[in-house]
Amino acid sequence: MTSLWIGDVWGPQAQSLFPLRTKNCGGARSKSMALDWFSANFLYQLGRDLQLIEIQATKEPRATLITPLARAGVYLDGLYTDKVFGRPLLPLKTSDGKGIALRETLETLLGSGTAENYGQPFKAEEITKLSEQIQEFQTVFAADLSRAPTYVVRQTGILSVDSLITDASAVFEGYLDRIPSPALWDTMQAGRCIAFDLPTAAGFHIARATEAVLVKCLGAFGKTVTKESQRNWGKYTELLDTTDANKKVLRTIDQIRIIHRNPLIHPEQTLTMPEALGLWAICCSVIQAMIADMERKEATPKIELLAMLPPDEPPETGLN
């Protein structure tokens, strides 16, 4: 008989059976893949398929079991081999032997079908072996799942956990192309830190994101710093204050510097989650305002971005 690999049945659709996203928590600067998001529904579907196979194999023609056989095989491939994702999906060490053996049996059963026997049930010896393997697998699989590292991330405030983990930089929707890459990276890190209850780290990253945009703003208004000692928020705002940069925006940056950013660099300073969420909000707001202010310097500025800029402070007249 010609062996029929399970992938030949599903082909490119194999990955679609696993609602999965693999996220690099280190961002573009790291090659370590530390976080997977997937729907646990496939575990239920695997159990359902195996139960269906075990019950119907004794009485239904093998043609009716091709789909659950192939689908269960793909699930087992995803869990224990590198054929679906290039690596096993979960660290299941106790059940991997039984899981791979069961997967091989499913492949053999699929490959044993012919035009003559597709309308007939499986043979008694095939059913006996299959039933024994399913029972053995279920025992060790249950033991593995009871020890699997499973975590639930609770929602923080009104922010979506999924958005915080997968792409917090979406907070800049509408002007994402104006945000420098370092700021995008730090914003994504800040989002994940909020999701995973690391408020001080979240404050650190969103402050870094704000500084990256502030440095871009400095260049947009024709200013640079020449000394390492001048690379600080105070000097940046001092230089920008000599330009036509929006004064309200500069005052807000100074507020963040004095109240939040400067204290945060000291190791004894920590943030609570409410403080981190407040810093996130004000930093995202001032980043938006800086982007709008810089838009004035574009050759063909976007009207919708200019509209985000707060009215500048009127010049002082000495009158109350």
Closest by CA to 21, choosing from 89, 112, 108, is 89
Are 80 and 88 spatial neighbours (Cβ–Cβ below 8 Å)?
yes
Question: pLDDT at position 7, please?
Answer: 46
Give burial (CB, 10 Å; 0-12/13-18/19+) of 36. middle
Residue with tokens 């019950």, as numbered in its chain = 55
**DSSP string for 250-303:** HHHHHHHIIIIIHHHTSTT----HHHHHHHHHHHHHHHHHHHHHHHTTSSS--H
Backbone angles phi, psi at 270, to 5 degrees: -130, 160
d(CA 266, CA 254): 18
d(CA 102, CA 141): 12
Phi, psi angles (nearest 5°) of residue 82:
-105, 15
Return the pLDDT at 102: 96
Quote the pLDDT of residue 22.
52
Instruction: Quote the tokens at residue 136.
Output: 């053995």
Q: What is the pLDDT along the chain (320 residues), one digit of tens a residue?
A: 333 344 444 455 555 665 555 554 444 444 444 677 777 888 899 999 999 999 988 888 888 888 899 899 999 998 998 887 788 888 898 999 999 999 999 988 888 767 677 788 888 898 999 999 999 999 999 999 998 888 888 888 788 888 898 889 999 999 999 999 999 999 999 999 999 999 999 999 999 999 999 999 999 999 988 888 888 999 999 999 999 999 999 999 999 998 888 777 778 889 999 999 999 999 999 999 999 999 999 989 999 999 998 876 665 555 44
Supply the pTM of this predicted model.
0.74
pLDDT at residue 25 in the model: 45
According to the model, what pLDDT value does residue 2 have? Answer: 35
Distance CA 14, CA 17 (A): 6
Identity (one letter) of the amino acid at 290? M
Measure CA of the first residue to CA of the last residue in the chain; give whole Å: 96
Strand partners, 57: none
In the chain, what are the domains?
Answer: 6-147 (no CATH), 161-306 (1.20.120)
CB 291 within 8 A of CB 174: no
Give the pLDDT score at 18: 59
Token reading at 246: 């929006």
